[in-house]
Amino acid sequence: MERAAELTDFDAVVAEYWPRIYRFALGSLRDKGAAESLAQDCLLKAWKARDRFRGEASVSTWLMQIAVNLIRDRIRNRRLQFWKRTTEASVDDLIVADGKSSPEKAASARQQLAAVWNATASLPERQRTVFLLRFVEDMDLLEIAAATGLSEGTVKVHLFRALQAVRAKVKGAGQ
């Protein structure tokens, strides 16, 4: 329980662990504002959960686990938002909403997105299913295995092959 006692002076916890959480977030997200926000979210979450900290791990490990989960959620949400936008809006809507794209970049983005969708459509059924469940529905490997009735190893193989095929077809379409 001495580890849990470290949380009684939360100002000291913040002073000691903020730099480490921030560096990890910055290295993961490559965005200073997002890293600062994530570090604050991490410490706020820890503050709210401090009574539930059992001391089985060090405070540092506990805080970094919170940070890892927050980063994973942020990346997952960002990836999921991209796929949802591409299925709900036309490519032109996405490119216009960007506001930064030149006509050349817009045309290139249209071509790349069309190439990904075309490559996905040409995958064998199991590969296509696994690919779409992973990248469109943002399911993890165990969830995909449960949903498809395949083993986790089989899901990994299909996902690997699907990624190789999509990358090859997109690369070939770009040439």
Q: CA-CA distance, 69 to 57, in Å (whole number)?
A: 16
For residue 144, what pLDDT is reported? Answer: 87
pTM: 0.49
For residue 1, what pLDDT is reported? Answer: 41
Shared domain check, 72 and 13: yes
The one-letter code for the residue type at 155 is V
Q: CA-CA distance, 51 to 29, in Å (whole number)?
A: 29
Give pLDDT tens digits along the chain (175 positions): 455 566 778 899 999 999 989 988 888 778 899 999 999 999 999 999 988 888 887 888 899 989 888 988 887 777 656 665 555 545 555 454 455 667 777 777 777 777 888 888 889 888 988 888 888 777 789 888 888 889 999 999 999 999 999 989 888 766 5
Split into its structural domains, the chain has a count of 2
Could you count the other beta carbons within 10 Å of the beta carbon of residue 135? Answer: 19
Local structure of 22: helix, strand or coil: helix
Q: CA-CA distance, 19 to 31, in Å (whole number)?
A: 15
Residue 110, domain member (yes or no) = yes
State the residue range of the domain holding 158.
Answer: 102-174
Last residue of a domain, one of 80, 111, 139: 80
Shared domain check, 50 and 11: yes
Residue 46, domain member (yes or no) = yes
Residue 131, domain member (yes or no) = yes
Shared domain check, 67 and 30: yes
Residue 14, domain member (yes or no) = yes
Shared domain check, 20 and 63: yes
Residue 95, domain member (yes or no) = no
